[in-house]
Amino acid sequence: MPARGAGGRTAPARRRAPHPGSNLPRLVSELNLILIGPPGAGKGTQAENLQADFGLPYIATGDMMRAKRQEDSELGREIARVIAAGELVPDDVVCKVLLERVDAEGDDGFLLDGFPRTERQADVLDQALERRGRKLTAVLLIEAADDVIIQRLAGRRVCSNGHVYHVDFNRPKHEGVCDIDGTKLVQRDDDKPETIEKRLAVYHDETEPLVARYEEAGLLRSFDGTRPPEEVHRHIRATLAVLRLEEDL
Ligand code: AP5
């Protein structure tokens, strides 16, 4: 991610070809977005749609940590333990891999999912963006109450490439098989009831305070995650289209 001078973007807004299949006009300026919300609110589900709409690099720390836990190392084993317990991976570990990835892929904008999750992570991101003369465009909060989350996560199924389904709300065409890549659908090991409870508690203690922080900064946009997925998507897309137009004025 090259430096762009202090105090905001110095280069003119760059044009990017729309993602194939997107029916949005050939807009426009860099979008630096965060998806935030409780586990199971639908961040990953909406991220798939937003990637298609805006062609943004999708950077999900949950996916990155699940990849890291496969490593045959002490760190890999510790991350596996932490995820299975529903706890958070230490800030330093997550921040390092996140910033490396943003530097490698996020030059024209990014969509972060699952980061930041603590005040410390939010500070690190702010400082990194400021050093590079960049800023966040918006923080997209997807809201859902704990009882909805528990029902959702118990029925979630995922494929090995991270595509997400639900046994009732978002069924694949053929049971147990991913529509997109044909791989087997499985339950995540942190979607057990006791782990879900722990993840919710961690969200309320560690991550929810960031909502007020981003609201005060004027960056927060909230969406009702209990609406059907297509409706949530339409709402987010409309909000982002307006933000982009405003940035271009
Ligand atoms: P991560 O993978 O980020 O998990 P999470 O935040 O708990 O989020 P989820 O992926 O569980 O839910 P989601 O909001 O994406 O919902 P989804 O779209 O799948 O993190 C996993 C772990 O990694 C953490 O616990 C931690 O240990 C570690 N980690 C990650 N980032 C970290 C960080 N920054 N710092 C420290 N540790 C970190 O939807 C859920 C289900 O609902 C699906 O079945 C879906 O089909 C369905 N659904 C979605 N939308 C709707 C809707 N509108 N109506 C009905 N059903 C819906």
pLDDT attached to residue 2: 38
The pLDDT > 70 percentage for the chain reads 88
pLDDT attached to residue 29: 66
Any atom of ligand 1 within 6 Å of the Cβ of 115? yes
Residue extents of the structural domains in the chain? 31-145+201-248
- Residue 226 alpha carbon to ligand 1 centre in Å: 14
pLDDT of residue 34 exceeding 70, the answer is yes
**Mean of the per-residue pLDDT values for the chain?**
88
**Ligand 1 test: best mutation among 34, 78, 89, most atoms within 8 Å of CB?**
89
Any atom of ligand 1 within 6 Å of the Cβ of 125? no
Task: Report which secondary-structure segment, H or E, holds 93.
Answer: helix 91-105
Phi, psi of 224, deg, nearest 5 = -80, 105
Which residues are the active-site residues? 43, 117, 156, 188, 199
Q: How many Å apart are CA 246 and CA 249, to the nearest integer?
A: 5
pLDDT tens for residues 69-98? 999 999 999 999 999 999 999 999 999 999
Any atom of ligand 1 within 6 Å of the Cβ of 29? no
Confidence category of residue 190, pLDDT binned at 50, 70, 90: very high
Q: How many Å apart are CA 122 and CA 95, to the nearest integer?
A: 9
Handedness of CA 171, 174, 177, 182 (dihedral sign): negative
- Residue 242: exposure state from Cβ atoms within 10 A (0-12, 13-18, ≥19): exposed
pLDDT attached to residue 157: 95
pLDDT attached to residue 27: 40
Q: Identify how many contiguous H helices and E strands the chain contains and give both numbers.
A: 9, 7
Name the pTM for this structure: 0.87
- Residue 121: exposure state from Cβ atoms within 10 A (0-12, 13-18, ≥19): buried
Phi, psi of 236, deg, nearest 5 = -65, -45
Any atom of ligand 1 within 6 Å of the Cβ of 44? yes
Any atom of ligand 1 within 6 Å of the Cβ of 41? yes
CATH topology of domain 31-145+201-248: Rossmann fold (3.40.50)
pLDDT of residue 46 exceeding 80, the answer is yes
Residue nearest to atom 17 of ligand 1 (CA): 42
Torsion of CA 103, 104, 105, 109, to 10 degrees: 20
pLDDT tens for residues 113-162? 999 999 999 999 999 999 989 999 999 999 999 999 999 999 999 998 88
Atom of ligand 1 lying closest to residue 227 CA: 53
